[in-house]
Amino acid sequence: MLHPSTAANGVVILRSPLLEAAGFAHAFSTRLGGVSAAPFDALNLQSPQANARVPAGEPRDEDDAIRENHRRFAAAAGLADGAAVADMSQVHGCAVVPARDALRTRPAADAMTSARGGDAILIRVADCVPILIADPRTGAVAAVHAGWRGVVAGIAVAALAALRETLGVAPAECVAAIGPCISARHFEIGPEVADELAKADLAECVVARGVHGPKHHADLVRAVALQLARAGVARANIDAEPPCTYADRARFHSYRRDGARSGRLAALIAPRA
């Protein structure tokens, strides 16, 4: 289970005991400790690029606030001041890119890898599933963004495959943590999404009508944990009890709950030096 901590700069983050024990600097963000004004208060970690594309008439955060929030979050995660952090343009697909490429071009992708001695990597969510993966033997890491489309496409499995093929990582030696995301109780889906999950051999992660409401619901945490385990990560090496972004307004942004008035959460991990 993830546990909270408050950094010296006031930023409240969540950490994985598994990743901590393995010696990896990392953090899952909350909305606490930043400088953004309402409705994005306070730690909004939206990308500057996406913030620039907010349509006229919709709420828009201040660019300076976003930059300061990112600086504070990186410090809270344990990074040195000015350390490079790679990110990407997330598109709900199944592409995995290395951090060195992401720093140069900010590609369209939903997972990144970084080798020992490489740069920290960051993904953003506002209900989707953030996943951090690390290999204590090689020091390599991956960060994954998985909405239901990414889950169906197998983005977490693709990230493990990229770690194995390019960095010599054995999934059985990895540890993984699933961060704050929308819970099954609050993730109502239509029959077409339920069908897609079933086609991806994840029917057991679809919650039947009548359990949480009149429609199907999806348990994306269970789905991701199942995919990681099927790909070779030991169940005991997966932190898979994250809090619900939708249910906890005080601590988390949620797009499904707040729409365009929602900020963004982030997950960050650095490879070993």
Provide the token pair at 148: 């239901």
Q: What is the pLDDT of residue 12?
A: 98
Residue 130 has what pLDDT? 99
Residue at 204 is within a domain: no
Written in H, E and C, the secondary structure of 211-229 is CCCCCEEECHHHHHHHHHH
In a domain, 209, yes or no: no
DSSP string, 120-131: EEEEEESSSEEE
The residue-averaged pLDDT of 192-221 equals 97
* pLDDT on residue 16: 98
Amino acid at 126: A
**The pLDDT of residue 176:** 98
Domain around 224: 3-183+219-269
Q: What is the pLDDT of residue 87?
A: 98
Q: For position 209, what pLDDT does the model report?
A: 95
Tell me if 193 is assigned to some domain: no
Residue 189 domain-assigned (yes or no): no
Pairing relation of β-strands 238-239 and 175-178?
Answer: parallel
Q: What pLDDT band is residue 155 in, cutting at 50, 70 and 90?
A: very high
Please, which pLDDT band fits residue 25 given cuts at 50, 70 and 90?
very high
pTM: 0.98
Q: Is residue 68 part of a domain?
A: yes
The whole-number average pLDDT for the span 147-166 is 98
Residue range 39-48, pLDDT digits in tens: 999 999 999 9
Q: What is the pLDDT of residue 266?
A: 98
Position 91 confidence tier, pLDDT thresholds 50, 70, 90: very high
- φ, ψ of residue 17 to 5 degrees: the values are -55, -35
What is the model's pLDDT at position 84? 96
> Going by DSSP bridges, is the β-strand pair 120-125/85-86 parallel, antiparallel, or unpaired?
parallel
Report yes or no: 263 and 62 within 8 Å, Cβ to Cβ. no
Kindly report the length of the chain. Answer: 273
Position of tokens 């944990």?
Answer: 225
pLDDT single digits (tens) 47-57 = 999 999 999 99
Q: What is the mean pLDDT of residues 57-82?
A: 97
Place of tokens 């489309």: 149
Amino acid symbol at 152: V
Q: Is residue 19 included in any domain, yes or no?
A: yes
Provide the CATH number for the domain around residue 58: 3.60.140.10
Token pair in block for residue 120: 């920290």
> Which pLDDT score is estimated for 65?
98
CA angle at residue 263 from 259 to 268, to 5 degrees?
130
Confidence of residue 88 (pLDDT cuts 50, 70, 90): very high
Q: Kindly state the percentage of the chain with pLDDT values over 90.
A: 100
Q: What share of the chain is helix, strand, coil (3-state, %, to 5)?
A: 35, 20, 45
Residue 20's pLDDT band (boundaries 50, 70, 90)?
very high
How far is the C-alpha of 201 from the C-alpha of 197, rounded, in Å? Answer: 7
User: What average pLDDT is seen over the chain?
Assistant: 97
Q: How confident is the model at residue 198 (pLDDT cuts 50, 70, 90)?
A: very high
User: Domains in the chain: how many in total?
Assistant: 1
Question: Does residue 201 form part of some domain?
Answer: no
Residue 31 counted as domain residue: yes
